[in-house]
Amino acid sequence: MNAPVAAFLPGGRRLHLQHGPIDLIIETWGEAFQRDRAHRAAIARFDSVLDELVGELELLRRPPSPAGPRLEGAVARRMLAAVRPFAAEGAFVTPMAAVAGAVAEEVLDHMLTAADLDKAYVNDGGDIALHLGQGERFDVAMIALGAVPADDGRVTIEAADRVRGIATSGRHGRSLSMGIADSVTVLAESAAMADAAATLLANAVDLPGHPAVERRPAVAVRSDSDLGERLVVTGLGELTTDDIDRALERGLRAAEDMRAAGRIAAAALFLRGRSMVAEAVGDSATCRLPGALQMEGAQAMRA
Amino acid sequence: MSEAATHKPEKIRCDACPVMCYIADGQAGACDRYANHAGELIRIDPLLVLERARGDAHVVPFFSGKEASWQGDIISPGDTFVTAVGAGTTYPDYKPAPFIVSQEIDGVDMVTVVTEGIFSYCGVKVKVDTDRHLGPECAAVRAEGEQVGHVTTAEYGSQMLSLGGVRHLTGGSKKEGRVTCDMLMNLCNGEPVELSIDGGSSIVVAANQAPVINGAMEERMRVGCGSATIGMFARQWYGLVDEVVVVDDHITGVLSEHQAGKVLGIEETGIRIKGRRSTPGRYFRVAEPGSGWGGTDISDPLTILRAFDPKVAKPGLRLLMVSTTGEQYGYYVLDEELKPVEHELPAALRPSVERIAENCEPALSTVLFMAGAGGSLRAGATENPVKLTRSVRDMLTYVSCGGAPAYVWPGGGITFMADVSQMPKRSFGYVPTPAIVAPIEFTMRREDYAALGGHMGAIIDVSEALNKAGRRESGHGQTDWPTARRHFRWGQDGGEAP
């Protein structure tokens, strides 16, 4: 059994924590001793995160039910809180839809309790929890994962914005998707909420019944998937521009509903080189499309 | 969990982390790092180690059982080479390469610097074994409608394509870059790629597989046209047969009329060929193109002959007809009415026919990856990048690409070519720039590494690297082992490492 691992990435600024399927990249800004404290707090908290989740995994893989047993873990409760409103509206969603964002949030919270930082982020595989002190801002590039990823826009978040969570979901990530979006990036008040919303919006970008969409039961792809026999997208053929826009519009309508309900601040949806954005006029937290910012320290991605 | 998830016996339980995934055959765990490969738990992402082929070992499992984590001393060190596949890169940081590995080979302390290079100056040269016209020289080669390269100077029996390169990767539109990157990745990873050539053909090429040209698979490379075949084999036929016709869609050759026959003193036979005579013994268009004899549409070779000239031909005259690939042949003797009658091929003629066939190699598309190692990449090996270049020039440092030999082009820099089919599967990746990620290794003696300003403090022992390695493969298809002495100036008179 491999234990959790902590290491600084080349360059010495970014802390990498890994345990099983969880990879966190953490970067902090502030006085050196504060940063050091924050890093120690992150490592200490991270140590038991996966064990806590595994202890309640059965329950976390089921849709939330008011009658079911209570969840104990702090991360698990964050997950549940994020998905509950969507489940209450009838969407099929399990707390696992928010796991990455919830872990990022939990670790960041412990860092901020232990230390005063100007700025920090915890990036859990693309789902990011943010801390922005007065006057700080956070720039991030969005990568639309198609056949070949391309940088497809940028997001700027300022301290005055309410946004503290960014999440991306889609067909090319590690999780299975019921929709065809290459990726959906969501800005929300919390990383867990952004994560859950991105998952659902990526599902919403879809063309039901379209012959180019290839689907298989989730368990046929990953036998322990929390999606069970539900169909997930396993392949996508040629689409016309009309098809692409129709699929994106379905997602966009869902995103506008989430925004109107106050659950998310903005969403950018990508499919086959086209994109649509849901955001409020006048917000300074914006998704700019298309942009030309290179993702920092571009990670090599394998096909 | 669903019912289906609990009853399939071939599932294995991964104990790499507390999630303890049950992983079905062919699937990966929640982490995408461990997978079930035919009942064995294997790691799928990381550093790849090549094992020199002994028998037919394939992927060696990372763990074979619950307790038995893999032991570093199972294989002898000289048989192991740590490749850069999956090693990652420290680019653009001015930092030592991800792995600098030392191991003793046959009494010599060797160091291998292992890194994955990010190459925007890179591409592939594709050699397509065919005489068919793929397109005019300089014509654009397209994938998904985007230009990704061009037709370059043809070689004997092969058409050449130059694909990728910095101008298509980063100099054109975003889509052009994406499509080019995708095409390069697929070709380098051995996948088939469909290309269309402006003013020419549409082709499907994949490394080390037969090309498909306008929907038809090219199977054999002929040794030469019919006329050339006469020239090559005339001496072997002399005295055994009176006349030979080599049937070819391009130029059909006739021994008795051909210069090669004249030189040998072969007499006229009175044979008359349909088609247009070009020069003596050479005929164009004896039939229509097709999939019959020698690329023509005929199945009976006698259909290209007119009646023999009665003033010259004699009963008993021996005639061999053969296609340019040697796949079809017929042996005939003229009867009293000067009509060819088929007989069994005499044993003495058989070797010449077999030799034609033997000289027709299978037609393939072959792919050489070509790239240049820039200063930043070289800085991963040494604090003074130019010293690495000089060390390569001086034959003190050997360059390999995923363990496969790299030909380093003369002149400045480290511009190299490597046969992708000799590299491990899935050796190539990409970054969104777009640019190709390819493995590259620099191997040298420890003292030579110190002399070029190597990152001596970052050297780790091979056993430590092996513990980090997840994928181990036998070096199948390897023509050359990277640590062989003959690659080095100091080893060239000392024979080879075992």
Name the closest residue on chain A to residue B63, using Cα atoms.
A1
pLDDT of amino acid B19: 83
Question: Which of B2, B22, B178 is nearest residue A150 as measured by Cβ atoms?
Answer: B178
Q: How confident is the model at residue B20 (pLDDT cuts 50, 70, 90)?
A: confident
Give percent of chain A with pLDDT exceeding 90: 49
Contact A61 B1 (CB under 8 A): yes
Average pLDDT, rounded, for chain A:
84
- Taking only the tens place, the pLDDT of each residue in A11-61 is 678 888 888 889 899 999 999 989 999 999 999 899 899 999 999 998 999
Nearest Cβ partner for A222 among B27, B93, B181: B27
Is B289 part of a structural domain of the chain?
Answer: yes
Residue A174 distance to chain B (closest CA, Å): 7
Buried b (16+ CB within 10 A) or exposed e, B20-38: ebbbbbebbbbbebbbbbe
Least confident of A176-180, B130-134, B202-206, B476-480: B476-480
Number of domains in chain A: 1
For residue A227, give both structure tokens.
């999606």
Average pLDDT over residues A239-258: 94
- CB contact under 8 Å between A301 and B29, yes or no, is no
The minimum CA-CA distance between B440 and chain A, rounded to whole Å, is 15
pLDDT tens for each residue of B68-92: 222 322 333 345 677 767 666 655 4
What mean pLDDT do residues A274-285 have?
Answer: 65
Mean of pLDDT over chain B = 82
For residue B116, give the nearest of A21, A273, A300 by CB distance. A300
Q: Say whether pLDDT at B198 is over 90.
A: yes
- Lowest mean pLDDT: which of A283-287, B209-213, B301-305? A283-287
* pLDDT at res. A223: 80
| B141 within some domain | no
Q: Is A295 part of the contact surface with chain B (CB cutoff 8 Å)?
A: yes
B458: DSSP letter? G
Residue B66 in this model has a pLDDT that exceeds 60: no
DSSP H stretches of helix in B70-129: none
A76 in any annotated domain: yes
pLDDT(A280) > 50: yes
Per the domain annotation, does A206 fall within a domain? yes
Inter-chain contact B430–A61, Cβ cutoff 8 Å? no
Residue A111 lies in a domain: yes
Residue by residue, what is the 3-state secondary structure of chain A? CCCCEEEECCCCCCEEEEECCEEEEEEEECCHHHHHHHHHHHHHHHHHHHHHHHHCHHHHCCCCCCCCCCCCCHHHHHHHHHHHHHHHCCCCCCHHHHHHHHHHHHHHHHHHHHCCCCEEEEEECCEEEEEECCCCEEEEEEEECCCCCEEEEEEEEECCCCCCEEEEECCCCCCCCCCCCCEEEEEECCHHHHHHHHHHHHHHCCCCCCCCEEEEEHHHHCCCCCCCCCEEEEEECCCCHHHHHHHHHHHHHHHHHHHHCCCCCEEEEEECCEEEEEECCCCCCEEECCCCCCCCCCCCECC
User: What is the chain B residue with the closest CA to A295?
Assistant: B432
- Which residues on chain B are in Cβ contact (under 8 Å) with A303? 185, 189, 426, 429-430
* Residues 6+ positions from A262 with CB-CB distance below 8 Å: none
Residue B56: pLDDT band (50, 70, 90) is: very low
Q: Average pLDDT, stretch B212-227?
A: 84
Of B358, B350, B329, residue with least CA distance to B223 = B358
Cβ separation A20–B437 shorter than 8 A: no
Give domain status of residue B37, yes or no.
yes
**Residue in A150, B2, B3, B30 with CA at minimum distance from that of residue B13:** B30
Interface check A228 vs B, CB under 8 A: yes
Does B125 have pLDDT greater than 90? yes
pLDDT band at B275 (very low <50, low <70, confident <90, very high): confident
Whether A59 is in a domain gets the answer yes
Q: Is residue A298 part of a domain?
A: no
| Peptide bond just before A85 cis, omega within 30 deg | no
With contacts defined as CB-CB under 8 Å, which chain A residues touch B168?
none
CB-CB neighbors (< 8 A) of B190 in chain A: none
In a domain, B340, yes or no: yes
Pick the residue with more confidence: A257 or A279?
A: A257
Q: What percent of chain B has pLDDT over 90?
A: 41
d(CA B91, CA B95): 8
What pLDDT is recorded for position A288?
A: 47
Does A297 map to a domain? no
Q: Which domain holds residue B305?
A: 226-358
The answer to whether residue B326 scores a pLDDT higher than 60 is yes
Q: Which of B358, B380, B398 is the last residue of a domain?
A: B358
Q: In which domain, by residue range, is A45 found?
A: 5-288
Cβ contacts (< 8 Å) between A148 and chain B: which residues? 178-179, 181-182, 185, 430, 432, 434
Which tokens go with B481?
A: 């082992």
A12 touching chain B per CB within 8 A:
no
CATH number at residue A120: 3.10.520.10
A21 contacts in B (CB within 8 Å)? 17, 19, 29-33
B102-111 pLDDT tens trace: 888 777 888 8
Higher pLDDT, B49 or A103: A103
pLDDT at B476: 47
A93 in Cβ contact with A80 (< 8 Å): no
